[in-house]
Every structure is written in C-alpha cells, then in structure tokens.
Amino acid sequence: MRKLHSYLLSSSLVLVLLVIWEIGAWSYGKSFILPTPSEIAVKLWELREVLIFEHLPATLLIIVIGLAISIIVGFGLAIWMNVSRIAEKAFYPIIISSQTIPIIALAPIFVLWFGYSIWSKVVVTVLITFFPITVSAFDGLRSSDKDLKELMLTMGASKKDLFLKLDVPSAMPSIFSGLKVAVTMSVIGAAIGEWLGAQAGLGYFSRRMMTQFDGAAVFAPIVLLSAVGILLFLLVTVIEKIVLRWRKQV
C-alpha cells in the first residue's frame, strides 16, 4: 500500500504533463511535427507487430551484446587495476579522460570501420556503458574495510581469500549502482548506433519515419525504447534486492 502511495505523486505529475501536451499539440495542429500522446498511443497499437517482432529484437540484441562486452571487459579491467598498481596508473586516467570524448560525434567513424553490421552499434553501446561499469566496480573493490582485511589476515587469509570473501562482496553495492546507470545508457547507445545506419531496430525505424513526416510513428518506437530502459533498470533492481538482501530496506 505504501509503495503504491510513493508512485502516486510521480504518476499524477506525468498524467498532468500528458494532458498539457495533448491539449497543446492538439491546438498546434501539426501532427507531423508534434503529435498528441493519444495519436502516439494509437500508432503504437497499429505498429505493434512490426515494432515488437521485427525492430525490438534487433535493438535488444545490440543492447545485450553491448552490455555483455562492457561487463566482461569492465570487470576484468577493474580487477586488474585492483590487483596491480601499475595497471591502475596506466589505465585509470585513460578511462576517465575517455569520457570527455564525445562518443556521439565519433559514432560515424564506427560505421566507416564496421559498416552497417551490428558491430558498429555494439561499439557505440560498449563505449557508453563501459565507463560506469568499470569505475563502479573498481571503486567498489577499493572500498573494502581495512580493519576487516587485517582481521582476515590474522586468521591467515590468502590474497585469494581477501579478494573473494572481502573485496568482491564489498564491491557489490557499488557494482549495482554502476549497472543501473549502464543499462539505461545502453538503450541510448543502441538507439544512436541505429540512427547512423541500420536495416532494423527501433532507433532506425524512428528515423525512417521522420523522413516520411509521420510524427506519431517517430515517437512510438521511442516510447518502446524508454520502456526497455525502464524494464532493464527494474530487472537490475530486482537482482540487487536478492543479492543484497542483507541491506536494510531503504
């Protein structure tokens, strides 16, 4: 009951905004530029089969592959930097400064390199999601309690014990924060990638409809994209609740 209550405020705000949008767009009267929410909803329903069975899977595939690569490489790099001071000094500044590179501006280059295959979009997704995953994992591994470490040493713990029984569990809360950021950004990454060139995908579909001046059909896949982002976020939150069940409910 209480949970329902906490969503009440944000959902009524959204509702109010939608109503304002509806009235505004309706009185503006150029639905190819600004469609009303109800037009978008109708369009979403009309296009449901094409969007859900053709374009959604294409986008999801990019997201899943991109996230998987980011997680494997990100965790690997975080562990390496945690173990080796030299690796940390070599990589950490590069990882941070890589974030100042405007990836979106670089994206066309990837199309040049990887063509219109799935990999040009995966690269954009990886570059966007890699940073929060790596940094949160690395900071998490670093956050383990020094006193606990010494206590474990007095028990005769090996480096492997310290890593598996202390560093990794200590890093979990931070890793989940990073994952939450990464999954929502992965949707953006995939959509940008598709904008640049693709044969399928929600981002691609949205852009194609723009050239046809079909405003509602531009927005419909975007609604779906944002739903994907929200669902991925909720999925991570559920896993987090299970893994970190020792934490008091916040």
Partner 1 sequence: MSDSVLAFNSIAFHYQTGKKKEAVSIFDGIDFRVNDGEFVSIIGPSGSGKSTIFRLVTGLENPAAGEIFLNGKKTENRLGQVGYMPQQDLLMPWRTIKENAVLPLEIKGMKKAEAESRVLQLLDDFGLKGVEDKYPGDLSGGMRQRVSFLRSILSGSNILLLDEPFSALDAITRLSMQEWLLAQWQKWKKTILFITHDVDEALFLSDRIFVLTGRPNHQLTEVTVPLGRPRTVRDLSRPEVVTLKEQLIDQLRSKELS
List interacting residues with partner 1 (CB under 8 A). Answer: 145, 147-148, 150-158, 161, 165-166, 169, 172, 244, 246-248
Look up residue 64 and give its two tokens.
């899943």
Helix (H, G, I), strand (E, B) or coil at 245: coil
Of 64 and 152, which CB lies nearer to partner 1 in the complex structure? 152
What's the min distance (Å) between Cβ of 154 and partner 1?
A: 4
Of 149 and 208, which CB lies nearer to partner 1 in the complex structure? 149
What's the min distance (Å) between Cβ of 245 and partner 1?
A: 8
Nearest Cα to 172, choosing from 234, 244, 242? 244
Q: CA-CA distance, 159 to 149, in Å (whole number)?
A: 10
Q: Give the rounded distance of the alpha carbon of 165 from its chain centre.
A: 29
What's the min distance (Å) between Cβ of 72 and partner 1?
A: 24
- Phi first, then psi, for residue 4 (nearest 5°) are -55, -45
What's the min distance (Å) between Cβ of 202 and partner 1?
A: 38
Of 9 and 155, which CB lies nearer to partner 1 in the complex structure? 155
Of 35 and 178, which CB lies nearer to partner 1 in the complex structure? 178
Of 11 and 158, which CB lies nearer to partner 1 in the complex structure? 158
Number of H-type helices and E-type strands within the chain: 12, 0
Q: What angle do CA 216, 48, 111 make, to 5 degrees?
A: 75
What's the min distance (Å) between Cβ of 144 and partner 1?
A: 10
